[in-house]
Structure 1
């Protein structure tokens, strides 16, 4: 009965949030507070289920992560400087308020961390996790997690065991885990292997005094690069989402704040724009374009769920009063509720401010620069996944002058090594589509996975006056009609076309072969 109450509350609140154009997670947060307010008994092992959700989330991130991305200039400069500035501001504020400076400093550093759960969900949902700025955001989050481990150890008076450093050798097990994944022929076995490795990494990390999610991330890295990782990540998606509902519900289980604590929590929420501005300025300083700096800053403009853990440890150690636990709980929940809808409309928000924001860009040779020349190319393929590469190769085989465009730096690196002509560009970036030099281009193949991106890209290309051919893919007849209405000349439905080709092949070869 208790399980039904909690799950039903999450469902109803999630549906209500969706009706109000908020992401469902805002409803889950509200449901947690409501259940706590009405003194509904907590669901047994809710916190444990939430931990599993975070481990599965970080494991799927590890499947796509390259370790060297942590050493990028913008990761170390933006992530490091932001932590330092926030810690300094926090210490000054608590000193001015005559509060306990040590506890305030730890709390301030904790509040400089961004929500890993929300950021990764936003980037995954928008398809930008593998984009250049998406990888930078992810790497900054991992850097924050590493600092958080040391911070929590200091607050609790504990230290990771000497063997903790050995966790970073886990990716060396890649040949073994790759063989295991290859040996799992059925989808069920692949899914079971993924869950097993995620939980094993978490247990191993906890045994050496490190956060379980770091262990799950590292075991995910052991499978990175395997041909089946995309299918595995897709299989884990539903399970991960279900467990993460428990994470958002449990935030409401801490004590509800009184009037004074509520006011302090609102003051902390009022400081969120400062955090966003700080990230935006630091990203620009590191050389990113205004669009990518804006989107990245918006993703990171939250308070981290880790602040809840750190605050509990600080309060327990007597470094801050008990009331801070309720304050931080509300501030974290509020920041997630604010950031989720803002990130949903990040592209329109930037478009509205673009003329003003691009004034702050500085000239640099950063890889996210817009391409100013496509050479002598007459055909452009946007999105170099399986469909895009097939279209590119077909055009190249016909001796057509073709260039590919993709937002994933690892994809570009691989394709350039194969001798293909490709450039960096994000199809979600309205500036890219507005400024691409298309004078020579006869036709564009749009092969990005997101229907929303394909639709908006076609609309923008036609509005800027592009008269060439546009071809893309649609999942069904309804999608195909919508894309054609936006201005697409050709829309292929892959499954429908596959059926036609199969029928042609089988009727064209009537001789049975055994």
Structure 2
């Protein structure tokens, strides 16, 4: 227990240091593993299990959110396969050429070894990419969906390699997994009956582990893939998003163990030659990133979208460690290569985290120098946007956003339009009669794609993540919006921050909940039942109320604070 406590304390301390440097905390978690390994401490008992559980729950969560149709988009499957083949060919050829001149660990090795190393490093890290996208609330943006789809294709290829290598041959009982089709009905019925709170978390974890990981692992197929499949099966349920959000904190806690374990994973004595070869392998990542950009633009994406997807994928995968281990076990690789690949993966995580922090600026730089293709050659969901005659915009169409939209339209006679990052939710609210378009309000190019409409005089920031509302506010002001901006927040410091950044009024959802409850209690006592208030749900992190906008900036939001 002491080792575990020390590991968590180190991860916490270095995570806070990273946060103070305006870097993602996971960079601190990575550093914690290296630091503890460097001072000679052994990994805590059970760290490997904790890390594996974190990856399993992550893939289960991906399955809950991914639309299977994304995988059959040409921008996904064709890019993934062509990039993989090209990367393996180029990297193995370069390594062979360097080895031919007798350079260190590369001297005198067969082409088959270089091909295996290149194949192991042709994947991107599902764990790292999804974690960074979630922190930036970009998982459901177009570039985020493209990146995740490519990752799933790569994961399937890695699992196929492990299976075909003979290291883990599938059992004949693997055909029995077809029985999951009727099991899907049972899982959906169970989810119908699960209450909120802890039981939801237990249900999700059990599904990820039992019919997911354990069942697939028992028949010789990687358990993580099983968790992904079960997630996809449950992903069509109406409560899939609620289930995903219920497991958010649990999954993230276990993922801390995964990032810390990367540092502990390096076996043996690390020499200068190992570091040099690992650094050389990481140096291929910029070339692989450029290849992604070229392929995605060829498939019809704008330069910015292609660049953001490529930058998200600019890392090596934890699967490389598994493939290297299989190579060592089957005598295809020398054990020294396991050290080199472990170092390369760890270095790529650091590189990708730092790069991702600057991704928007890099994408804007690239966009200014590489013009987009003609409009007719751009995919439909990446083309310019026309918001029509709207005079108000509502960013985020969860419960609070939908309530704000309806209030503006029905009580204030305005013509609002809603912007929603989640494509499925955008379709859902359109079916309810809400004028909505799918888009990422934090994306500078989303606003660049919107044709200017001077009649818009009000913007309501109703996204559930404070960082997203702040980013959207920056985009509005940067593009010359001079209308009124109103925002929601969960906490007082968030409300104060967004007011200081230029919002005209802010609504603290906790403040308004008690007032709304009292008002409706009085209404019910004196006048009979009144309309149901807007409450928290899977879409929003806190209970809310009907959003009431005053006629002037000074009036602000009911229960809120104005500047």
Give me the TM-score of the superposition, normalised by structure 1.
0.92
Partner-residue secondary structure (3-state), 1:368: helix
Listed one character per residue, the Cα deviations across residues 209-258 of structure 1 (whole Å, up to 9, x for unaligned) are 21111111112223224444334323322222222222222223322421
Partner-residue secondary structure (3-state), 1:287: coil
Alignment of 1:75-474 (within 5 A): 75-96=76-97, 97-98=99-100, 99-164=109-174, 167=177, 170=180, 173-200=183-210, 201-253=212-264, 254-255=266-267, 256-359=269-372, 363-397=376-410, 400-436=414-450, 437-474=452-489
Q: Is the 8 A contact 1:484 1:491 kept in 2?
A: yes
Closer/same/farther in 2, CA of residues 37 and 481 from structure 1, 3 Å limit: closer
My pick for the range that moved more, 76-85 or 457-466, is 457-466
Partner-residue secondary structure (3-state), 2:307: helix
Using the alignment, how far apart are the partners of 1:361 and 1:103 within structure 2? Answer: 43
Unaligned runs of 5+ in 1: none
The alpha carbon displacement at 1:300 in A equals 0.4
Higher relative CO (Cα under 8 Å, sequence separation at least 6) belongs to 1
The alpha carbon displacement at 1:351 in A equals 3.4
How many pairs does the alignment contain? 514
The alpha carbon displacement at 1:321 in A equals 2.0
Partner-residue secondary structure (3-state), 1:440: coil
Listed one character per residue, the Cα deviations across residues 388-417 of structure 1 (whole Å, up to 9, x for unaligned) are 222233334355433222222222333344
Closer/same/farther in 2, CA of residues 485 and 242 from structure 1, 3 Å limit: closer
Closer/same/farther in 2, CA of residues 512 and 174 from structure 1, 3 Å limit: farther
The alpha carbon displacement at 1:336 in A equals 0.5
Q: Is the 8 A contact 2:301 2:378 kept in 1?
A: no
Closer/same/farther in 2, CA of residues 175 and 503 from structure 1, 3 Å limit: same
The alpha carbon displacement at 1:379 in A equals 2.3
Listed one character per residue, the Cα deviations across residues 259-292 of structure 1 (whole Å, up to 9, x for unaligned) are 1111101111111111111111111111112222
Closer/same/farther in 2, CA of residues 496 and 280 from structure 1, 3 Å limit: same
Closer/same/farther in 2, CA of residues 114 and 169 from structure 1, 3 Å limit: farther
Listed one character per residue, the Cα deviations across residues 315-371 of structure 1 (whole Å, up to 9, x for unaligned) are 222222221111110110000011112213322333344412445687524133243
Closer/same/farther in 2, CA of residues 169 and 91 from structure 1, 3 Å limit: farther
Which residue in the other structure is 1:495 paired with? 510
The alpha carbon displacement at 1:513 in A equals 8.2
The alpha carbon displacement at 1:470 in A equals 2.3
Using the alignment, how far apart are the partners of 1:42 and 1:476 within structure 2? Answer: 37
Unaligned runs of 5+ in 2: 101-108, 530-563
Listed one character per residue, the Cα deviations across residues 46-91 of structure 1 (whole Å, up to 9, x for unaligned) are 2222111110111112221222221111111111111110121133
Q: Is the 8 A contact 1:202 1:214 kept in 2?
A: yes
Closer/same/farther in 2, CA of residues 160 and 369 from structure 1, 3 Å limit: same
My pick for the range that moved more, 43-52 or 358-367, is 358-367
Q: Is the 8 A contact 1:155 1:310 kept in 2?
A: no
Closer/same/farther in 2, CA of residues 510 and 439 from structure 1, 3 Å limit: same
Using the alignment, how far apart are the partners of 2:357 and 2:22 within structure 1? Answer: 10
Partner-residue secondary structure (3-state), 1:404: strand
The alpha carbon displacement at 1:112 in A equals 0.8
Q: Which has the higher helix share?
A: 1
Using the alignment, how far apart are the partners of 1:42 and 1:298 within structure 2? Answer: 31
Partner-residue secondary structure (3-state), 1:209: coil
Which residue in the other structure is 2:539 paired with? none
Using the alignment, how far apart are the partners of 1:178 and 1:287 within structure 2? Answer: 37
Using the alignment, how far apart are the partners of 2:248 and 2:275 within structure 1? Answer: 35
